[in-house]
Amino acid sequence: MKSFSEIVEEIKDIISSDIPGKKVFDKDVANALEISQMNFATMKKREKIPYEELLNFCAKRSIAINWLLYGQSPESLVEATNQFYMVRYFDAVNASAGGGANIEDEAFDSLAIEPHFLATLGGESELKNIEAINVTGDSMEPTFLNGDIIFLNRSKTDISRGGIFAIQTEDMLLVKRLQKRIDGKIDIISDNKDFYLPQIAEPGQINVLGRVVGRYGGVE
């Protein structure tokens, strides 16, 4: 996959037709992606690719995301396009630092994923159980970064072996590591241990929505 810096140069070429005769700067790319210049500069420095913003940019301009990320020509994707799979994507739902969104009540769009990526989520047999939401905040860094898109398997709610899950508390939607204790209580753990302490919950205090099985870039 291309680096963020390489993707930025591709976007500069794309939007150069919008401002003919003028040099295209990073600030123009930030505006095209609807990202603040400060956040854009941080992302570029860290090589953090803003997948959600890129998807929206490509959709508005009818550009194949595979070309932008991997350099694959649209012609090479014609046959493969018929093999894309669609998952429910709750683009208004954010998890990790909270937000109060209830995934059951939100509208959703369809997000296309390729067969090789579907395989990492459990295969076609699990497709009906897969849903995508956004991550916000830094409580799960470095595993997940603010703005990542994560994929849940809604059929996998057994926490006995631990793992990363999306959970609904009384007023927040979170993505956390869960560990079941001998006494039946549940440890709710943030991967960013420098700033977030573990919490303890009774089983009835949280609703496990599904196990996190993937993200763009992979799950640790």
The whole-angstrom separation of Cα 189 and Cα 163 is: 10
Predicted confidence at residue 100, as pLDDT, reads 42
What is the rounded radius of gyration, in angstroms, for the C-alpha atoms of the chain?
A: 19
Q: Are residues 65 and 93 in the same domain?
A: no
* Start-to-end CA span in the chain (Å): 19
Q: Are residues 98 and 121 in the same domain?
A: yes
More confident: 56 or 176: 176
Residue 51 burial (CB < 10 Å; 0-12/13-18/19+)? middle
The residues facing 96 across adjacent strands are 136
Predicted confidence at residue 4, as pLDDT, reads 87
* Tally of structural domains, the chain: 2
pTM for the model stands at: 0.62
Give yes or no for a contact between 86 and 110, defined as CB atoms under 8 angstroms apart: yes
Which CATH number fits the domain that encloses residue 142?
2.10.109.10
30-77 per-position pLDDT tens digit: 999 999 999 999 988 888 888 888 888 888 887 877 778 877 655 554
Can you tell me whether residue 118 is helix, strand or coil? helix
Enclosing domain of residue 16: 1-79
Q: Are residues 39 and 91 in the same domain?
A: no
Q: Are residues 69 and 139 in the same domain?
A: no
Provide mean pLDDT across the span 154-177: 91
More confident: 153 or 68: 153
Q: Are residues 162 and 185 in the same domain?
A: yes
Predicted confidence at residue 99, as pLDDT, reads 43
Q: Are residues 5 and 74 in the same domain?
A: yes
Predicted confidence at residue 102, as pLDDT, reads 55
Q: Are residues 118 and 164 in the same domain?
A: yes
The whole-angstrom separation of Cα 197 and Cα 109 is: 34
Task: State the CB neighbour count (10 A cutoff) for residue 210.
Answer: 20
Provide mean pLDDT across the span 15-19: 83
Q: Which residues contact 180 (CB under 8 A, 6 or more apart)?
A: 159, 160, 162, 186, 187
Q: Are residues 135 and 68 in the same domain?
A: no
The residues facing 207 across adjacent strands are 168
Give yes or no for a contact between 93 and 148, defined as CB atoms under 8 angstroms apart: no
Q: Are residues 135 and 69 in the same domain?
A: no
106: nearest Cα among 34, 166, 176: 166
- Tell me how far CA of residue 128 lies from CA of 76, 83, 112, 133, 162, in angstroms: 28, 16, 13, 15, 23
Predicted confidence at residue 82, as pLDDT, reads 52
What value does the mean pLDDT of the chain take?
83
Amino acid at site 7: I
- Tell me how far CA of residue 1 lies from CA of 38, 66, 116, 159, 178, in angstroms: 24, 9, 14, 33, 32
Residue finishing a domain among 50, 79, 108: 79
Q: Are residues 59 and 112 in the same domain?
A: no
Give percent above pLDDT 70 in the chain: 87
Residue finishing a domain among 47, 79, 111: 79
Predicted confidence at residue 63, as pLDDT, reads 80
Which CATH number fits the domain that encloses residue 37?
1.10.260
152: nearest Cα among 84, 103, 197: 103
pLDDT at 167 over 80: yes
93-145 per-position pLDDT tens digit: 777 544 445 565 567 777 888 777 888 888 888 999 999 988 888 899 989 88
Residue finishing a domain among 64, 79, 94: 79
Q: Are residues 126 and 66 in the same domain?
A: no
Q: Which of 50-64, 94-108, 178-192, 205-219 has the lowest mean pLDDT?
A: 94-108
